[in-house]
Structure 1
Amino acid sequence: MTALILIDVQRGFDDADFWGPRNNPGAEANMKALLDAWQERRLPVVLVRHDSTKPDSPLRPGQPGNDFKPELDGARPDLVFGKQVNSAFIGDVDLDAWLRKRGITSFVVAGIQTNFCCETTARMGGNFGYEVTFALDATFTFDLPEVTADELSRVTAANLANQFATVKSTKDILAGL
Structure 2
Amino acid sequence: MTHSALLIIDVQRSFEQKDFWQPEVLPDFQHSLSRLIDGCAIRNIPLVDIFHVSQGPFALDSGFVVPMAFLSHQPQATFYKHVHNSLTESGLDAWLREQSITHLIISGMRTEQCCETTARVASDLGYRVTFVSEATLTFPMTHANGRVFSAAEIIQRTELVLADRFARIADVDGALAELDKLAKETAAA
Measured on the aligned residues, the alpha-carbon RMSD in Å equals 1.8
Uncovered stretches (5+) of structure 1, i.e. residues with no partner = none
Q: Residue by residue, what CA displacement relative to the aligned partner does 1:9-65 show, whole Å, maximum 9, x if unpaired?
A: 0122234x6125586751122111111122222221110001123xxx322212243
Matches within 5 A, 1:158-169: 158-169=160-171
Q: 1:142 to 1:58 in 2, by over 3 A?
A: same
5+ long unaligned stretches in structure 2: 181-189
Question: SS in structure 1 opposite 2:57?
Answer: coil
Equivalences, count: 171
Identity of aligned residues (%): 33
2:44 to 34, 42, 48: 42
TM-score between the two structures when normalised by the length of structure 2 = 0.83
- Residue of 134, 137, 143 corresponding to 1:137: 134
5 Å matches for 1:1-177? 1-15=3-17, 18-21=19-22, 25-53=27-55, 57-73=56-72, 75-93=73-91, 95-145=92-142, 146=147, 147-176=149-178, 177=180
- Choose 1 or 2 for highest CA Rg: 2
Q: Relative to 1, partners in 2 of residues 1:130 and 1:63: Cα closer, same or farther, differing over 3 Å?
A: same
- CA–CA separation in structure 2 for the residues paired with 1:40 and 1:70: 21
> More helix by proportion, 1 or 2?
2
**Deviation (angstroms), 1:118:** 0.2
Alpha-carbon contact 1:81-1:91 (below 8 Å) kept: no
**TM norm structure 1:** 0.88
Distance in 1, Cα, partners of 2:70 & 2:43: 18
Moved more, 108-117 or 140-149: 140-149
